[in-house]
Amino acid sequence: MSLRGFHIVFISLVTLFFAAFAAWGFFFGMQQDAKFWQPVAWICVATAILAPIYGAYFISKAKSLYSNA
């Protein structure tokens, strides 16, 4: 697998992980300690949103690098 392919798979898995962890933080973590889990869940939401944006940037950057080679 190429570095580009690995990167795309990794960013996809990171996005799914942080989305699931945010859902867990909001629904189950709040029952334990809301003061701790609410900021953690919001950070996970931000990461789940920013990771695909970074992935799209990486894909466009990788296309330009590989097309010039």
pTM (2 d.p.): 0.81
Burial class (CB in 10 A: 0-12, 13-18, 19+), 22: buried
- At residue 52, the pLDDT reads 96
How do the domains of the chain map onto residue ranges? Answer: 3-62
DSSP string, 10-60: HHHHHHHHHHHHHHHIIIIIHHH-HHHHHHHHHHHHHHHHHHHHHHHHHHH
Instruction: Please tell me the distance from the alpha carbon of residue 11 to that of residue 33, in angstroms, as a whole number.
Output: 29
Residues in the chain with pLDDT values less than 50: none
